[in-house]
Structure 1
Amino acid sequence: MNKTILTTLILSALMIGCKDNKTKNNDTSETTKAVQNHTEDTVKEFESSTVYNNAWINEIELNSGAKWEANLETNEGVEKMLKLVEASDPTSVEDYHSLASELNEENNYVIKKCTMTGPSHDNLHVFLHPLIEKIAALGEVSSTEEGAKITAGIKENLKGYYDYFK
């Protein structure tokens, strides 16, 4: 009889614990989903803001009021990217994707050939990071309006290079 009572008590405790646990798991799951949705919305908002604007100019610094010395390959790569953007006349989503591919090749050249070090290199990254995001976003546009907006941001980004580097 003691074994029966003990077994019943243990099973009852487990059943109550399991019910309680399921409720807690559901609450945790709903909270996790809400946090994930909020995080995804925040990430999308951040990505959009860096893709459509040039906030990097608030982070970049001059070299004691002077432009940073950049290596030849970096200057050539930025110049080629700017010429690609200025010469382009995309009329379709595919044209924007193609432009993104060409820009990405030049950007990879700049990154591969960079010999800069120290603060000039750090500031180059401040310039390059949003440019990389914009080029990636251009490669994924789904409308010509979106492509035109991102391309304008890329062009502004590239022209801004000459304000900080020589």
Structure 2
Amino acid sequence: MKKSILVALMALSATFANHGYTAEEHSHGHDSHGSVATQTGLSLNNGERWEMDDHTRTMSQMMQQTFFAADHSTLGGLNAAGTALEQQMEKLITGCTMTGKAHEQLHVFLNEHVTTINALAKADDYASARENAIRLKGQMETYQKHFK
């Protein structure tokens, strides 16, 4: 079990290292979070949404506004939205003060979310950009169902 967690953390660190974020930078001293998984590993807090810190909540709202206000009709518009979201995600991550189970669940969510944002920013054709935009919209809906 520990070996699989270590492998997952190493993969996650490699993914985020290319974008200015490593798991160690955001660990808040919690090296044994217990799991790194995809969004399918999300759970509720005894049937309720997880409480986010003010910074995370504010940045999440800002990211949603950026996404929905973007020009989704062109590759350039979607790439620009992805780039803006990458910058906002960096601010979300660096300013996070969360701890505990809610923090762990946020990491579960971010594993897939960050990857999709990066893919949107770097898409080289409209079809793949649109596919990532649709995926992001679904992830934002998932966020709303699991976090407050």
Q: Same fold (TM over 0.5)?
A: yes
CA-based RMSD of the aligned residues comes to 1.6
* Superposed displacement of residue 140, structure 1: 1.6
Task: Report what 2:66 is aligned to.
Answer: 84
* Superposed displacement of residue 113, structure 1: 1.2
Say whether 1:71 aligns with 2:53.
yes
Task: Report what 1:129 is aligned to.
Answer: 111
CA contact (8 A) 1:81 1:158 kept: no
Q: How many residues align?
A: 112
Q: Which runs of 4+ in 1 moved over 6 A?
A: none
Aligned runs of 1:1-166 on 2, under 5 Å?
56-166=38-148
Return the structure number with greater helix share: 1
- Output the CA distance in 2 between the equivalents of 1:160 and 1:70: 14
Q: Give per-residue Cα distances to partners, 1:32-81, cap 9 Å, x unaligned.
A: xxxxxxxxxxxxxxxxxxxxxxx944211111111111001111111111
Identity %: 27
Q: Give per-residue Cα distances to partners, 1:120-164, cap 9 Å, x unaligned.
A: 101000111111000111122111111111011111111211111
- Output the CA distance in 2 between the equivalents of 1:75 and 1:148: 26
Q: Please list every run of 5 or more consecutive structure 2 residues that lacks an aligned counterpart in the other structure.
A: 1-36
Opposite residue 96 of structure 1, the aligned amino acid is L
Opposite residue 66 of structure 2, the aligned amino acid is L
- Output the CA distance in 1 between the equivalents of 2:59 and 2:140: 10
